[in-house]
A and B are shown apart, each in its own frame.
Chain A
Amino acid sequence: MATSPAERTLRPLRSRRGLAWLLAAPLAWLVVFLALPVAIVFSISLAQQTLAMPPYTPILVWDAVEGLRVDVTLEHYAFLIEDPFYLEALLGSLGMAASTTLICLLIAFPMAHAMATAPARWRAAMLLAVILPFWTSFLLRVYAWTGLLAGRGPINQMLLALGLIDSPLPLMNSNLAVQIGLVYAYLPFMVLPLYAALDRFDGSLLEAAADLGATPWTAFRTVTLPLVWPGVLAGSALVFIPVTGEFVIPDLLGGADTLMLGKVLWEEFFANRAWPQAAAVAVCMLLLVALPGLLRAAWEFVRGQRQGVPAVAARGGH
């Protein structure tokens, strides 16, 4: 083969200017909607709290005597460490994100497996069933749970009718309600990447493993899991990261003891009007969520450099 289809479509881009133009659009997007807002939030986190609108002092001050003066403080970051409240909120968020990811994984894996091995004529319908909830607003779907979990809601009614409980369970405004809501809302984000990975998985590899003496569990551990691992990672990231910063679900379904970063952030901004403090929380949260991804990218880059091959090729073309 002289040129692959990919090469052919890329040919006009061999000129550097063509490539630069193509990259300009996503780059502009990233600057306007990611870099700039992050820079603004970061600058606010370094400013002083004040009673004004906006409620913080400018970090660049023009002084007739001294000229341009930078007025920054790290006190809001220091306060994050001093007050255990923030650490608790952080641990609450991470714990909730971890449990949600794990529960989603346990539910989504069999689901995705069933979809990937189902007869072809069923697959489109099953896939549609997973995506269908997205047709309705996220907020409405979470709000619906307040009704379902209410003291006189259908879940309690059913349990009472079955005689399993004597009085309605206090389901609403609890961590359990938050957990249910989170798993419900984020399950599709786990199912879809897992399905994509399992769909590509060649079933004859499991037969080969069995033929070579692997029990079904060993075959799963040594063949299926390593090959669908990218899907597991992708799904976990898609669930873990947004759940860490989730605000709507803990706000609507959670109670007084539900301590999560997203809610803390919202309260600092809107209830306390402590913009610099809230900005400091936001920056820390961003770092926390982005750090593993950045470390991994850096590691792959270093490894790629050492082996003298692009990082993507080194992973084996999957």
Chain B
Amino acid sequence: MSTAGGQVMPTGADVAGGAALALRSVSRRYGEVRAVDDVSLAVGAGEIFCLLGASGSGKTTLLRLLAGFEVPSAGDIFIAGRRMNDVPPYRRPVNLMFQQYALFPHLTVAENVAYGLQREGLPRAEIRTRVGEMLARVALGGLERRLPQQLSGGQQQRVALARALVKRPRLLLLDEPLGALDRRLREQTQFELVNLQESLGVTFLVVTHDQDEAMRLGSRIGVMDRGRIVQVGTPREVYEFPASRFVADFVGSVNLIEVANLVAGPEGWRAEAPALGCRLRLPAAPLPGGRPPVAVALRPEKVRLSVIGDREATAGENAVVGTIEEIAYLGDATNYLIRTTTGVPLRATCLNTAHVAAEGLRWGDAVGCDWPAEALVPLAE
């Protein structure tokens, strides 16, 4: 499965069952609106795949297509090698953990978890054993007879997870699994979720609008925009090598710099950045296929700041000068907004590694900013 952006058509082996999930040119249209537009994707067994997108990007529609609550307008959905297009939700080997959990308010915790097993017509003794095991696993032992509204948000989330996992699905769909939890609980729960996934070996497909959640949970991330998957890759690949301006901007904070007058040289490409009033040196192999980049992405944490004081300094190659306009101290890091001499802002982040910031940059200070060639990510679109 390639790292370079865009769609990846599943192979014949993926469709035949090598992948937990394979989508082939799946679309879902509502009249003229394309909620999901020609999406192809293969998710391997045992993966945690995160679909990351803003609201309205089509990620929830895609999830509902997989769960069976929506029918694709075109394309094919394969789960564990079986075509699922016409299979109703209650016959699919997938389970969904709902965003608001959708726990049955009239049933106890144990009855909620047992619900899916009862539908399979399993013997009572087996249901009791499996429910007990699963509740112990999500640390809900002793709460079997509580009703959902008597539980905290975190406990409800674990009931929802247990209810979906106890069915031993081939694929578990999670809709914003941490979205309804407060911050402290999110970090703890996210580790539990990953541990549980590893020990059970179930494939997870997580839908989220929160890039933090996607980066922490996902073994791979698919970034969605306007119904399409615009990039698939590991969290590192998506962050360090965004395929487009959209992805660079959506995942993390970024400086997007337009480039002009590209010249291919022996050590890499050289270009001009008219907005910043400086020259750029780009890494050796800017883009696959040798296409010239239209812009470059520069992550704020890769910008180096230095106090220039009275020294006369000018913009050079991969270097600009400016004054500090805004400072946001975040504890572990500090974000700076630097107004460059051309008037264009540049964002920089410095880790506060020293106990007291040695440089002591202050509002209004004149600073020099520079970055290595490798920090610039060429963007084709």
Contacts and interface: CB of A to CB of B under 8 A. Distances in A.
Given A204-B100, A211-B96, A316-B147, A218 B119 contact: yes
A226 B147 CA distance: 14
Contact of A210 (B89, B104, B120, B167): B89
A214 B119 CA distance: 6
Given A316-B147, A318-B105, A212 B119 contact: yes
Contact of A213 (B69, B98, B103, B120): B120
A212 B149 contact: no
Interface string B95-118: 110101011111000000001100
Given A207-B69, A207-B98, A213 B105 contact: no
A257 interface: no
Contacts of B88: 210
Contacts of A211: 67-68, 89-90, 94-96, 164
Interface string A168-210: 0000000000000000000000000000000000101101111
Contacts of B103: 208
Given A204-B98, A316-B149, A212 B106 contact: no
B59 interface: no
B105 A227 contact: yes
B147 A212 contact: no
A213 B106 contact: no
Given A212-B116, A317-B149, A207 B106 contact: no
B105 A212 contact: no
Contacts of A214: 90, 115, 119
Contacts of A316: 105-106, 147, 149
Interface size class for chain B?
Answer: 20 to 34
Nearest to A203: B102
Interface size class for chain A?
Answer: 20 to 34
A223 interface: yes
A202 B148 CA distance: 14
Interface in B62-98: 67-69, 88-91, 94-96, 98
SS of A interface (majority):
helix
Contacts of B90: 210-215
Interface in A206-247: 207-215, 218, 222-223, 226-227
A210 B96 CA distance: 10
A190 to B, nearest CB: 22
B163 interface: yes
Nearest to B64: A207
B163 A212 contact: yes
A70 to B, nearest CB: 52
B105 A208 contact: no
Nearest to A212: B116
Given A209-B115, A211-B67, A223 B120 contact: no
Given A213-B90, A316-B105, A208 B149 contact: no
A211 to B, nearest CB: 5
Nearest to A315: B106
Interface in B115-170: 115-116, 119-120, 147, 149, 163-164, 167
B98 A212 contact: no
B124 to A, nearest CB: 16
23 contacts: A202-B102, A204-B98, A204-B100, A205-B102, A210-B68, A210-B88, A210-B89, A211-B67, A212-B90, A212-B95, A212-B119, A212-B163, A212-B164, A212-B167, A213-B119, A214-B90, A218-B119, A222-B115, A223-B104, A226-B106, A316-B106, A316-B149, A318-B105
The 10 A-B pairs at the shortest CB distance, nearest first, are namely: A212-B116, A213-B119, A208-B102, A210-B89, A204-B102, A211-B96, A210-B90, A226-B106, A213-B90, A214-B119
Interface of B: 67-69, 88-91, 94-96, 98, 100, 102-106, 115-116, 119-120, 147, 149, 163-164, 167
Given A207-B98, A222-B115, 9 more contacts: A207-B96, A210-B68, A210-B89, A213-B119, A214-B90, A223-B104, A227-B106, A316-B105, A318-B105
